[in-house]
Chain A
């Protein structure tokens, strides 16, 4: 049996002089950002003795008079219009609770889903009883943030054919801050699979559907077997996503695709080896820079 062995190597110390020196836009909790009272207090800051002070460690962002500090790593802070992938955790009266890596479970109201068959009508008591037939605890869904409640919980909706229950595929969880905000988060990649990049860091990989399903209202899931080649593509994409996340590269359709292309010379299972990962990510970053330039 072949076995891989690697020796421990010393953690590379990032020499501070080599980087941009001490970057002034990086702050730690308790750092005074400004004592000018003309600025507005955004997320990650508080006012102490009329001084604007950081409460998290991260990067200072300024939009006009508004100062925010964005932490490097945090839970998902949803905004209206964000695409999310989530998991049903609870079926309650008239609503589902959805786990979306947010600080409170999100809520999907019965009134904000499309009924099967695309019927448009008031939700009756009967619908309340058959809620479990649409979505069950443990089901994965894709949805959009409809509004944010006062306590920070998100209200979701699936009132579009592209949202709804997810069938066969693979879920990859990465940090929400690595997902690049884009116009669309649904992509049919040319390599033969589709991807949903949830803003909450949940990424869904699934085989590209043949044609748009008939009026299923997003509750229909195909259970037909997937061909081996499709599955291989999906596995490769999953490992690529993990590689990108391990090296903290922003994830969006181009970066995923370049990463996929760079990984083609390796076997799927080898992608997760640290040295291969590093190589692939280097290639990806190079391609991204070329494309930009």
Chain B
């Protein structure tokens, strides 16, 4: 894996194109094609909810505890809704270079903030006054789209914990190359300097829970890119929906009712 990544990095400097003339990307996908998503709910016994999700080579674990009594500083208690506490971390072995600090640096703190923001929008926190919901996400292997994979995994974990949400939250990272939007970027594409946009969507109502974009993009192209991102999110939501339904079937079969 790492050798492949090195090659791609060098290739980029030499001007390797991210989208071939035939319309194929580095890993052989079409422009609007997503990576394979595989997921499983209820992977831990101790937690209230947990999930594991793979999106291509990016793998994440999400665990939800709560809603429970406030831990730590009581002063953060909100009298009208629950506090959502998120922690994003990356395993030390998740990237080609060993990561020294799994969490707590600026980027991870920011990512935790974004996750928190995303789920504050989607989870019906007003049903649980004065309590706290913990969402812990860990990236086991990073290959681009970390934020979106985390959101998708955490959504499954929250559903597994039986916490009410308005809808699924699905996220996707899209890029823009040669006037074409690329769905679900992998690491090579992300680091290749394309302008990337991360978007978390509640697919049913088309509401955007989080929008973040880096690098330059002309205003006129924004709409096309956002449309591509929303389509990608809806694609992800279909997969998640299948996973949840499958899980429900299995679990309800076992209880025998």
Contacts and interface: CB of A to CB of B under 8 A. Distances in A.
Instruction: Please tell me whether chains A and B touch each other in their complex, using a CB distance cut-off of 8 A.
Output: yes
Interface of A: 14, 16, 19, 22-23, 26, 28-30, 44, 46, 48, 55-59, 71-75, 99, 103-105, 151-153, 178, 247-250, 285
Interface in B10-69: 42, 48-49, 66-69
B204 interface: yes
A29 B162 contact: no
B160 interface: yes
A30 B240 CA distance: 12
Interface of B: 42, 48-49, 66-69, 124, 128-131, 159-168, 202-205, 241, 244-256
A28 to B, nearest CB: 5
A26 B249 contact: yes
Nearest to B243: A28
5 contacts: A26-B248, A30-B203, A103-B131, A104-B131, A249-B255
Given A14-B253, A23-B252, A57-B244, 16 more contacts: A28-B245, A28-B248, A55-B164, A55-B165, A58-B162, A72-B252, A72-B255, A73-B161, A74-B48, A103-B68, A103-B131, A104-B67, A104-B130, A152-B129, A153-B130, A249-B256
A151 B77 CA distance: 13
A48 B254 CA distance: 32
Contact of B165 (A29, A152, A153): A29
A178 B128 CA distance: 23
A73 B246 contact: no
B67 A103 contact: yes
Nearest to A54: B164
A44 B124 CA distance: 10
Contact of B130 (A28, A151, A249): A151
